[in-house]
Structure 1
């Protein structure tokens, strides 16, 4: 199998707003770590280039990926670009302005650099590589959809009205479904040198302890750790997995202010935890060690390493209002490296509750991930829609969505995935 590799710097050069939180309006204060686009270009069975990459940003919107494809001079369907979903980078999704104002000049810079890099790589590649896959236990995350009795203190304060009931809180849920596994796919040349690393661990990069600083969050910290530990400058592609309902497992939030003490002490008030700089360093250090061990375990297998690329689209999963506005379907892509291992990527924030529902075709040698470039929305299961919660309904205003999820979500999504393996998908 032949491939080309490149890392592109996409760190903003001037202070602009960051994407990830509606309440954060001001430009960032400083840059703590660089933002990158990490790219691998391969050829499928027909010799046509297909691009796999990750960009340090919250989402890669449809307009951005279309522009990158045009700049690169390759069809949109040949791009498998995934956002790392860091909440400490500028927006690359003008479609969701409430999550962070899109800076047009920054977006154009990223399009130009990433599209140009892909064009450069697609013009030819000379690296012959083999591929290996490994899995590693990683008990560092937790489900965040917690059934709980809640009192709406905001309504009590603003409206002097009691709102009390049981719902799905945005808070740690130890009994909730979670994939506590880290995976890696490693590409090596004929001399055994690492040329690219793909890794996946389902967790929201939304808890960086400095909210007004630019950072790739833990995907960037682990990336730097892998490069330093392994002695390589190769691209490191992070795939967030089914991270829509997964957060860091923070045992107890250390109060940062008197307000934090009140939030912790209030009854019927489940909350999301937070990191201090010290607890963040310790947590990311554990993930970095697990990722390093997983990369070492990913030895090349003896297989027919021909790249298989397929794509498909689901029936509409979100029906928009008013009528006439396009409904939202999911794009799904399959990229297999022979019979050794592969990736199945989907648009939207796929929640962890999908893991037990995915077909057996997604074996232990394939990484399933959301956050593929395209429409920005959460993708709950039918069961999660019935339960409610942020990922099922409360996210809609922030994502500028008006409408409802279609019936039979499970069937629509699973049918689209099955098409990737049945011959009904498009190459």
Structure 2
């Protein structure tokens, strides 16, 4: 007797319905492959929204977690533990920044970035108290806290969660003129995803990110890059900003930083920015805990070799070539960089949800977003043969 139907029913019965998952119940995984409770295998082309950049149960990361579990898992930031300085130093060096502030989730990193930018604005830039504003982009996805959804343009994320937090100005993504016009004397930061993931892996026009960097420098405004999904090797570079030679004032990191084992996020910036925080002004019980640091420092060391960035660039070229060949054969458009792609399916054929359901039946797991768009983000350990297999299955789905 199959176990999946009962497990799906139990999940529906006992869980708040804030997600609409595919009817797949995973019990084990390794590398780029998942196995469900009935023994069926699936090729993972979502990778936990980039949280699994290094695949499931990467041996180096699992070994670090095991070793730390036998020693120490939590102290709180009331004390210093022996994994903390190594993680912060090595991540700061990877980012080219002075300091790191560890947190747990991506949303916490974004909230931290907002708080730091406002405090910097008041203490360093001289913005009048309570008047700081931050410029953000339409189509953004930075998390789901009440402050973050206050500047979302996705009604599913925003509706009925007000009253909304003020202090944000929304402009069209990729429109440098609109962004420039929105900056005034009270603007403390521009907060952007270098590639918008949830929106459908939307890459901005060439020159946009350098333009944002230039305007922020000219107007004494912090450029905050949310690289939670796009960073740490996903796009074929350490950060998506690297493709255009741009260095933001602040990196917001998460997802892959925890190696698919523990939630880890971080803000990286120079001392003249993060240095505005003093003891007692911000914190987290679990942020920078020993287990998280032990895993995350190994993530940073994997990235320091450059291997995963190269794999993403090379295999990403193969993925995009295969997907590009399907334009006009069921696909309307393909976007992305590295091992990250947004696909617009001809809406006359099927919705994105229907496409993902049909792919799952063929052993490929992906995620839909916004109508007939789906996203592909395989682990960076995926092989050429696995990419070709996934593209072939997608072609079969589109062909009906």
Q: TM-score, normalised by structure 2?
A: 0.27
Q: By percentage of residues, which structure has more strand?
A: 1
